[in-house]
Amino acid sequence: MGSEAERRALADPGRVARQFKNRIGDPTPLRIGDAALTAEAVTARFLVTLLGSLPDGRPARVAVTHPAGWGHYRLESLRAALSANGLADVLLVPEPQAAVRAHDALARLQDGAVVAVYDLGGKTFDAAVVRKLAADRFVLAGPPEELEVGGLDFDEVVFGHVAEALPGWDALDPADPAVLTAVAELRRACTAAKERLSADTEVLIPVALPGIAVREVRLGRPEFESMIRPAVEETVAALDRALRAAGTSPRELAAVLLVGGSSRIPLVTQEVSAQLGRAVSPAPAGIVAIGAALEARGLEPAPAAAATATWTRPPLPEAPKSLRRKRTKLTPFVTAGVLAVAVAGGVLANNVLTNKAGAESRTPTTTVVPTTTQTVDEPAVVEYVPTRPAAPAPAPRTTQPPKPKPTTTTTRPSTTVTTTKSTPPPPSSTTTTTSGTTKAGAP
């Protein structure tokens, strides 16, 4: 992998695979030496080898980033290849969300903030608009834009510039191992020169090819920018389309992240700033990988000690002194009022129970006349005649009250008319008596 694979490619270029990420999901296998492997299978083996080389062993969680525009088929193809190599629990994170997640850890975006991501990588370009939701969630605000252009294309531009400056280039033998080794070295020199032009205004590219006397080729930044300007302008137009698709204007953006190694080219910063009308700068190196690691760490269970943490309500502030004095002066009056209400309630309850018991102890006696009587259907009348006060009634008991003593009433046989009317009792306390029947016309 990496520089070691590049070194071995000088002697055995047929066993080297390059730029295979974009072929993930393509059923046509890659021919690498004597093996035929799909791009996702090569990716899975690469990841297994990388994890095995870590000094502390495999981590608890693994996250793999991917372009935001990948569909379900590509993602499932990659997931199946990872599962076949023992990596079924890998977390797949879109690259724009990972970049914004890392930026949020540094700048703490507000909920609802919108961030534009300009990702110019090695072989592809992606432009996306990401919105932050509550609880550190990040979603695409609109469809992303993708282009098949990247840093490798810029390397080819530099390599083509050098080849045109070398006399006798077309006379080189492509089957000569020495020529192949020298060309591979020249390609690496062109990549290094492109990277140096981000800081320098001019570079000298070393040349060591058999049969060619030229030993270096000069390249200035203006020449380089003129060669890559059409591609850069195309990426800026794609960013503008992504913003319009998300319904976001440049002034509504909380941040603009320039991601990818090629985004450090000064021309990229100038063109993006001019398009958005605001100053932008490249994001920190490795920001996508950092965001993916933060996403993976967020899925780990919280430490046991954190579950035992409790929250205690802080003490309430004391009332002002003036308010405390007013409450102190009112306290005796409030206490006296409560006691008065309690006493009045007790007296009222005692009177009610006493009247109820007295009424039950003096039940009216009904006189039966053993003669022919005429009954008129009128409301019964109970006459209340004041008499001497009765003795106080005993306190209420849980048992039934005693039955009243029978009273003897002497009646005279005669024809009587019994008229009974009922009127409500007067408010004063009286003793109820029953008047016996009298002879008609008697005084």
Local confidence band at 414 (pLDDT 50, 70, 90 cut-offs): very low
Q: Is 108 left (phi over 0), alpha (psi -120 to 50) or beta?
A: left
Q: Average the pLDDT over 52-69 and give the result.
A: 90
More confident residue, 255 or 405: 255
pLDDT at 417 over 50: no
Average pLDDT, the chain: 76
- The percentage of the chain sitting over the pLDDT mark of 90, rounded to a whole number, equals 52
Poorest-confidence range of 76-85, 303-312, 412-421?
303-312
Poorest-confidence range of 262-266, 343-347, 370-374, 403-407?
370-374
At which residue do the structure tokens 């089957």 appear?
A: 175
More confident residue, 302 or 43: 43
List beta partners, residue 417.
Answer: 374
pLDDT at 124 over 70: yes
- Topology of domain 111-283 in CATH is Nucleotidyltransferase; domain 5 (3.30.420)
* Pairing outcome for strands 91-94 and 63-66: parallel
pLDDT per position as a tens digit, 310-321: 333 344 444 444
Local confidence band at 299 (pLDDT 50, 70, 90 cut-offs): low
Q: Average the pLDDT over 181-198 and give the result.
A: 93
Local confidence band at 355 (pLDDT 50, 70, 90 cut-offs): low
- The rounded radius of gyration (Å) of the Cα atoms in the chain is 51
Local confidence band at 4 (pLDDT 50, 70, 90 cut-offs): confident
- DSSP output for 190-204: HHHHHHHTTT-SEEE
Question: What confidence score (pLDDT) does residue 376 get?
Answer: 38
C-alpha 331/C-alpha 411 separation (Å) is 68
List beta partners, residue 428.
Answer: none
Question: What confidence score (pLDDT) does residue 275 get?
Answer: 95
Question: What confidence score (pLDDT) does residue 300 get?
Answer: 52
pLDDT at 143 over 50: yes
**Which candidate, 205, 199, 228, 200, places its Cα nearest to that of 218?**
205
Q: Average the pLDDT over 169-178 and give the result.
A: 89
Question: What confidence score (pLDDT) does residue 51 get?
Answer: 92
pLDDT at 356 over 60: no
More confident residue, 74 or 15: 74
C-alpha 408/C-alpha 410 separation (Å) is 7
Question: What confidence score (pLDDT) does residue 259 get?
Answer: 96
pLDDT per position as a tens digit, 245-261: 999 999 999 999 999 99
Question: What confidence score (pLDDT) does residue 218 get?
Answer: 96
Local confidence band at 116 (pLDDT 50, 70, 90 cut-offs): very high
- DSSP output for 349-401: HHHHHHHHHHHHHSPPPPP--SS--EE------------SPPPPPPPP-SSPP
C-alpha 333/C-alpha 331 separation (Å) is 6
Largest CA distance in the chain: 165
pLDDT at 21 over 50: yes
pLDDT at 341 over 50: no
Question: What confidence score (pLDDT) does residue 238 get?
Answer: 97
Domain boundaries, the chain: 1-89, 111-283
Question: What confidence score (pLDDT) does residue 390 get?
Answer: 46
